[in-house]
Amino acid sequence: MVLLLHGTGGDENSLLALGKAIAPGAALLSPRGKVLEQGMARFFRRLADGIFDQEDLEKRTVDLAEFVRRASKAYGIPKGKLVAAGFSNGANIASSLLLRFPDALAGALLMRGMVPFTPEQAVELNRKPVLLLSGLDDPIVGTDEAAELANILRASNAEVTLHWEKAGHTLSQGDVLMAFDWMRKFFRNHPAPAQ
């Protein structure tokens, strides 16, 4: 099962087509972010572009972990089967969830993600697969920041794949293909796509 987490201004429908493309046949769990910023849904507050309200991020991450716990129970998702796929603001809360509640996810696909926070204590991710899809020309997330996120996850013992796409903040076809291959490689219980 894939937990889809949309970007700022998106909603629960934004990533459904992407989810179907990268994990054909997988069940999709797609909540809407509860924070509104000038009418745009997000998963946590920010103080300015790229500057996060850390208190709110922590609280919303706890809420998301609780949502995941309840949904897993309601839909009978076995522990360790849920893979997050987040874009932009959704990637940022997915990283926060992974770093704060390592057991909540089997792995994470972080698309155009930033560093949500730097963990103060060591985190053990037990070689969970994490794919970072970062844009070489992303005007919102600098390449240094994407590389730092990869380093934080590597230091937390995740199995990190960092893919640089010749793209900006918007996803391109190469990102989708990469995500599809990564899903197949690490979570192969999804049925193969129709030929």
Residues that bind ligand MLT (CB under 6 A): 7-8, 46, 88-89, 92, 114, 140
Cβ nearer to ligand MLT, comparing 114 with 158: 114
Provide, rounded to whole angstroms, the least separation between the CB of residue 29 and ligand MLT: 20
Catalytic residue among 63, 163, 169, 181: 169
96 is catalytic: no
> DSSP assignment of the chain, as one string?
-EEEE--TT--TTTTHHHHHHHSTT--EE-PPP-EEETTEEESS-EEETTEE-HHHHHHHHHHHHHHHHHHHHHHTPPTT--EEEEETHHHHHHHHHHHH-GGG-SEEEEES-------SS----TT-EEEEEEETT-SSS-HHHHHHHHHHHHHTT-EEEEEEESS-SS--HHHHHHHHHHHHHH-TTSPPPP-
169 is catalytic: yes
Catalytic residue among 88, 95, 134, 156: 88
Provide, rounded to whole angstroms, the least separation between the CB of residue 115 and ligand MLT: 10
Cβ nearer to ligand MLT, comparing 42 with 190: 42
The answer to whether the CB of 143 falls within 8 A of the CB of 134 is yes
163 is catalytic: no
Cβ nearer to ligand MLT, comparing 1 with 110: 110
Catalytic residue among 138, 156, 175, 190: 138
Provide, rounded to whole angstroms, the least separation between the CB of residue 75 and ligand MLT: 27
Cβ nearer to ligand MLT, comparing 8 with 156: 8
Supply the residues annotated as catalytic: 88, 138, 169
